[in-house]
Structure 1
Amino acid sequence: MLILGIDHAAIKTSRLDESRSFYTEVLGLRDGPRPAFEFGGAWLYAGEHDVVHLVETDQDKAPSRVASINHFALRVADIDAAAKRLRERVVPFQSETTPGGELRQLYVTDPNGVRVELNAPG
């Protein structure tokens, strides 16, 4: 078996509209085609690839900071532009740089408590 990479993140949410708005209006993904599942949700795309699957549920879930999976990461073209976009939309974030400066990171939290890392080369 040869793993090529991570395909997408699936997030269960009782806040579908708010979550969709966060990922599209704040982070810049776009709403796109989704199979006709028997449950609500949305598939959000970066370019031509679906990277976030929102799965509608009627119960809140635990935030990612207390789950085994702490966060997922999305690569951005320009980390400074991403930080500016977050500031303009008054979205709190944390900024970090990996030791050695090889990777610059911004951490945001979605409406469901899921931590999302935005990163770009340092």
Structure 2
Amino acid sequence: MPTTSLSHYNLRADREQMEVLKEFYCEYVGLQVGARPALQSFGYWLYAGIEAVLHLSEMRVGEQRQTMLKTSFDHVAFNCTDHPAMLHKLQQAGIAYKMAQIPASEGFPIQHQIFFNDPLGNGIELNFV
């Protein structure tokens, strides 16, 4: 029963924060709001092409998110196109970022990476081959 791919990841927030996250991931990561099954909770599914990769879910009644929780999560990574346009977009918005370049090696082309955080501090990596 091997794993074949990553399906999606989920961020939980109140409705106000969820709207901020939705707008941010659509504007600065290039995801798009798409179809979502008829669920009882409020939320969004954000798509990269035809794949629903990010689910934004409303916190449950009485749920409190632990913001100082120690975790090993660092970032989520997306494959992207148009590196110069993304840099320009982040610069125009004043979003702090770091860049890295992974040199070519056997079986792997040169890869440019941009790292930044969403409005709630979750790490994002954008990869450009």
Tell me the TM-score normalized by structure 1: 0.84
Contact 1:60–1:112 at 8 Å: present in 2 too?
no
Q: Where in structure 1 are there 5+ consecutive unaligned residues?
A: none
Query: Paired residue for 2:38?
Result: 36
Residue type of the partner of 2:20?
E
Query: Paired residue for 1:49?
Result: 51
Deviation at 1:45, TM superposition (A): 0.8
Deviation at 1:73, TM superposition (A): 0.2
1:59 and 2:64 aligned: yes
What CA distance in whole angstroms lies between the structure 1 residues aligned with 2:35 and 2:66?
A: 25
Tell me the TM-score normalized by structure 2: 0.80
What CA distance in whole angstroms lies between the structure 2 residues aligned with 1:24 and 1:91?
A: 15
Q: CA RMSD in A?
A: 2.0
Residue type of the partner of 1:120?
F
Contact 1:62–1:113 at 8 Å: present in 2 too?
no
Match of 1:114 among 106, 122, 127: 122
Deviation at 1:60, TM superposition (A): 4.0
- SS for the counterpart of 1:11 is strand
What CA distance in whole angstroms lies between the structure 1 residues aligned with 2:33 and 2:71?
A: 27
Higher relative contact order (CA 8 A, sep 6+): 1
1:68 and 2:76 aligned: no
Query: Paired residue for 1:82?
Result: 86
Residue type of the partner of 2:127?
N
What CA distance in whole angstroms lies between the structure 2 residues aligned with 1:42 and 1:111?
A: 17
The alpha-carbon distance between structure 1 residues 4 and 20, as it changes in their structure 2 partners (threshold 3 A), is same
What CA distance in whole angstroms lies between the structure 2 residues aligned with 1:63 and 1:23?
A: 23
Structure with bigger gyration radius:
2
Deviation at 1:87, TM superposition (A): 1.4
Deviations, residues 69-107 of structure 1 (Å, cap 9, x unaligned): 211101101222211121122222111123x35321111
Q: Where in structure 2 are there 5+ consecutive unaligned residues?
A: 105-109
Residue type of the partner of 2:82?
D
Contact 1:76–1:82 at 8 Å: present in 2 too?
no
Equivalent runs, 1:12-31 vs 2, <5 Å = 12-14=12-14, 15-31=17-33
Contact 1:42–1:54 at 8 Å: present in 2 too?
yes
